[in-house]
Chains A and B, each alone.
Chain A
Amino acid sequence: MIDNFQVYLAVGVILFCLGLLCVMTRKSAISVLMGVELILNSAALNFVVFSKYTAGNLLGQGAAIFIIILAAAEAAVALAIFLNLYRTISTAEVNRADQLRG
């Protein structure tokens, strides 16, 4: 009998690995950012699952709230950097950004 608990964890694992794959293989910086969002989502999901099924308190949900806050801050700063990168080298591909001074 498969419990829902393990299904949640499996979804977390799959999301994490897909995010990892996205970060490793994508060229566009925006796609890399989407991979990071997948990874952060899987981490938050794991916190909530363990908070419900093994801890029995809300501390994990608090941690998930901070993950969402950090993801918002990170997305804003990352997109600002990508816009600047695009303005400097006219592309947002991560393997073209190989100069320290543009």
Chain B
Amino acid sequence: MIDILIQAIFWLFVVLTVGSAIVVVFSKRIIYSAFALLFTLIGVAGLYVFLAADFLAASQMLIYVGGILTLIIFGVFLTAKIYGMTIPDQAHQRYLALLPVAGFAAVLIHVLFSADWNLLQSTAEPTTENLGKLLLTTYLVPFEVASVLLLAALIGAMRISRPREEDDDR
């Protein structure tokens, strides 16, 4: 009984992720796309929970849903003249683009369902402690480089988004 319930919740997250991703791509208004992206990101966080990646699910919620999505919605409002929340966004040559992308997806899905995967039987256990050890041993150099990169992105984003100095003088 509990297995069926877990499986049902799993499929709910799968449908949520894929369905709202379709809305992101095909919606006519950017703001609808942005809010559909919210549900896609929540769905991926739910899939992380099913993959026993609890720390990643929490970071996905904090960084993507709390940070990146807020930035995107700010971007939508700051880069459009707002007339009653309907910011249109046309797509061009959608059906021409759909053809190769659908073919690519069909090939990949065929391969992953027909391949002979050598799977492990793994158990779910908390990952946060081991991930922390991993970040300070195996991944120590990428970890430090990432902190420098974040600092550079912070300073660069501030520098780019400020008005130019000759504009200030006028």
Name A residues whose Cβ lies closer than 8 Å to a Cβ of B: 2-11, 13-15, 17-22, 24-31, 33-35, 37-38, 41, 44-45, 48-49, 52-56, 58-59, 61-62, 64-66, 68-77, 79-87, 91-92, 95
Contacts and interface: CB of A to CB of B under 8 A. Distances in A.
Contacts of B117: 5-6, 53-54
**Interface of A, helix, strand, loop or mixed by DSSP:** helix
A21 B97 contact: yes
Contact of A68 (B14, B64, B112): B64
Given A26-B89, A73-B153, A41 B71 contact: no
A30 B135 contact: no
B60 A68 contact: yes
Nearest to B67: A72
A83 B135 contact: no
A52 B51 contact: yes
A92 B156 CA distance: 20
A48 B74 contact: no
B109 interface: yes
B21 A58 contact: no
Given A15-B17, A31-B33, A52-B51, A76 B97 contact: no
12 contacts: A19-B25, A25-B25, A25-B92, A27-B91, A34-B33, A34-B37, A44-B56, A56-B122, A66-B146, A72-B150, A76-B153, A86-B78
B134 A59 contact: yes
Nearest to B15: A11
Interface of B: 10, 14, 17-18, 21-22, 24-25, 30, 33-34, 37, 40-41, 44, 47-48, 50-53, 55-56, 59-60, 63-64, 67-68, 71-72, 74-76, 78-80, 89-94, 97-98, 101-102, 104-105, 108-109, 112-113, 117-120, 122, 127, 130-131, 134-135, 138-139, 142, 146, 149-150, 153-154, 156-158, 160-161, 163
